[in-house]
Structure 1
Amino acid sequence: MQRRRFLLSAACAVPLLTTACSGRSLPRQLSMSTQQLQATVARKFPKPYPVAGLLQLQLQAPVLSMLPDSNQIRAVLPVLLSGPVLKQTFQGQLDVSFGLRYEPSDRTLRAQRVLVNSLQIADAPPALADMLTTYGPRLGEQVLDNLVLHQFEDKDLALADTIGLQPGVITVTAQGLTMSLDKKTS
C-alpha cells in the first residue's frame, strides 16, 4: 500500500519536477483570448427577462470588446422587447461596460460594476422610450450584474490547486484576459 502511494506521488510530481528542473518556471497566470471568452459567453444567450410582468426583454449574444485602459469589457447586446401591452416586438441594443471578478465557490468569472452606456429601442413609441430612458439603466445593471461569463472546469485549475495557487488579479488586455495565480491564503 505504501509503495503504491509513493509511486502515485512520484508520478504526480514528475510534471512539476520536469518543469522546475528544465529551467522553466511554473505557470503564474491563466490567459483567455477575446475569441475564447466571446464563444463561452455566446453559449449563455439568448436570455429572457420579464419586466414588471408586462414586458419581456430578451438579450441576445453580445459582441465583446476589451477596454484595457479601464480594465473593463464592453458588451453590445442586441435586444428584443415584447409583451402583452405592446402591439409589436421592438428591436434595439444594450451597450454596457463592466469589470470582472473571480468567484471561488463555483470557479466562475462574473461581471461586476456594470455600467449601462445606452439602451436604444428602434421605433419605440414616446411613452415607451421615456420609460426606457428612466428605468433602462437600472434594469440593465440588475440583469447583468454578477452574470457568469465563464466557468472553469476542475482540470483548468488542477495544477494551480496542486501547487497551492488560486486565481487572483484579473487584467483586461487588448488580446483578452489574464488572471494571476497567487498563493492560497488559507
Structure 2
Amino acid sequence: MSFVIDLDAERREVQYPDGIPVKFGGEQFIFPAELPAEALDPILSDELDLVGLLGDVLESSDGDAGVTEVVTALFRRPSLPRKFLAAIRDTYAILLGDQYEEFLKQRPFIGDYVRLTTALTRVYGVELGKLFRSAGSSESDSQTSSPTSPATTESTPEGSGFVPDNPDSSDSDG
C-alpha cells in the first residue's frame, strides 16, 4: 500500500540533524531543524489579531490593498506594533528554548529579527502569506491576465528551503 501523505518520510532533521546553526554577535545559536507548530501561536494569537487586521485591510480596499489601507488599519490598532514585537520575541523564545536569554544578550535590532526571520522562513519552507492566501489565488479567471505560476507543481526541488552559508554577508569593511 502506498500512502498519499507519509509523515514518516525524510524530514529536515536529515538535512540538519543537530538543528539549524545561526551565527549572531559572535555566538552560535541552534534553532530546531523543524518548525514547531507552537512557534506560530504567538503570531496567530487572538490578542494580536493579525488575521482580523488582514481582513479589515482587504475589506476596506475591496481586495486591492495599498499602503494607505494598511496604515489606516494600523492606526485603528495603536497597540499592535508593541504586541507584534512581543509575539516575535515569544516565537523566538519557543524556538531557542534555553538559549533565548543568551540570544537577548546580543541585543538584536529590528533588522536582525527581519533578516533572521526571512532566512528561517526559507529554511523552514513556511511563508505566512501562504497561510492567509485563498485556495484559488494563483489561478486567474481573466482573459487578459495569466497566472504567475502553475496552480500545481510536479515536484519540489531537493534543495527546497536551503539557505547557503555566507559568513561574510554581515561583515563590513567600510
TM-score w.r.t. structure 1 length? 0.28
More helix by share: 2
More strand by share: 1
Q: Which has the higher contact order (CA 8 A, sep 6+)?
A: 1
TM-score w.r.t. structure 2 length? 0.29
